């Protein structure tokens, strides 16, 4: 069982996780502003294992700007929530927040990520949890084997994702956090910042923050 973080030199890059079993998937792709370094690390960490897909937690360019180069390099499909495929395929600079991040988003064909999808890597089995709020199509990925939760910008080790950008919704975020409260999880692997060994505690603390803001 292997979960690796791909490091980048860009301070506001998303976390990029390589989840490796008999095959591998990448969760999120960063801005693409450090693509050569990122791709080099992916090749090194794959160590002969095939990269079968890139799974995207949402459409923001700090998570998707590097997708074009990665897909070109590895020839693997990319998956994103069904309602956000048009953002990446049309390289929507506004909804993706690319123009604000200094990222030139390139159009990439994407497969529609459905709530019933399961990615079986052998040592890891990832299922999709729809968690709108940060964006309308935000998702988390739960590993059924390790109980690890890859939470994107829905919840962090401390706090939760902002909801004031295009397609964001504070009401939806509150609902998604409450949904995650019922998920049997261990380690939290968020889209930014450090991991949290007790993911459920992080979720409960985020919920407490939303309740305190009323």
pLDDT in tens, 131-177: 999 999 999 999 999 999 999 999 999 999 999 999 999 999 999 99
Q: Which residues pair with 16 in a beta bridge?
A: 6
DSSP state of 8: -
Low-confidence ranges of the chain (pLDDT < 70): 1, 213-214
Structure tokens that stand for 76 in this block: 């693997």
- Report helix, strand or coil for 183: coil
pLDDT at 135: 98
pLDDT at 213: 66
pLDDT at 214: 55
pLDDT at 1: 66
Q: Quick one: which H or E segment has residue 55? A: strand 51-55
Q: Which residue, among 183, 80, 64, has the nearest Cα to 137 in the 3D structure?
A: 80
Structure tokens that stand for 47 in this block: 């160590």
DSSP state of 105: P
Tell me which architecture the domain covering 2-212 has in CATH: 4-Layer Sandwich (3.60)
3-state helix, strand, coil in the chain (%, to 5): 30, 25, 50
Q: Which residue, among 168, 173, 138, 174, has the nearest Cα to 59 in the 3D structure?
A: 138
Q: Quick one: which H or E segment has residue 41? A: helix 35-46
């Amino acid at each position: 069982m292997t979960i690796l973080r791909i490091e980048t030199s860009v301070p506001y890059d998303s976390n990029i996780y390589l989840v490796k079993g008999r095959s591998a998937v990448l969760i999120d792709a960063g801005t693409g502003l450090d693509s050569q370094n990122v791709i080099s690390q992916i090749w090194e960490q794959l160590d002969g294992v095939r990269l079968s897909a890139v799974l995207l937690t949402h459409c923001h360019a700090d998570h998707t700007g590097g997708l074009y180069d990665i897909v070109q390099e590895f020839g693997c499909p990319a998956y994103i929530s069904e309602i956000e495929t048009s953002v990446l395929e049309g390289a929507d600079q506004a909804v993706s927040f690319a123009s604000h991040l200094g990222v030139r988003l390139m159009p990439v064909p994407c497969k529609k990520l459905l709530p019933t999808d399961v990615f079986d890597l052998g040592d890891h089995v990832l299922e999709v949890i729809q968690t709108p709020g940060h964006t309308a199509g935000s998702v988390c990925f739960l590993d059924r084997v390790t109980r690890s939760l890859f939470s994107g910008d829905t919840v962090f080790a401390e706090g939760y994702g902002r909801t004031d950008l295009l397609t964001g919704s504070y009401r939806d975020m509150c609902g998604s956090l409450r949904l995650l409260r019922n998920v049997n999880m261990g380690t939290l692997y968020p889209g930014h910042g450090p991991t949290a060994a007790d993911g459920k505690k992080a979720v409960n603390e985020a919920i407490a923050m939303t309740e305190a803001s009323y």
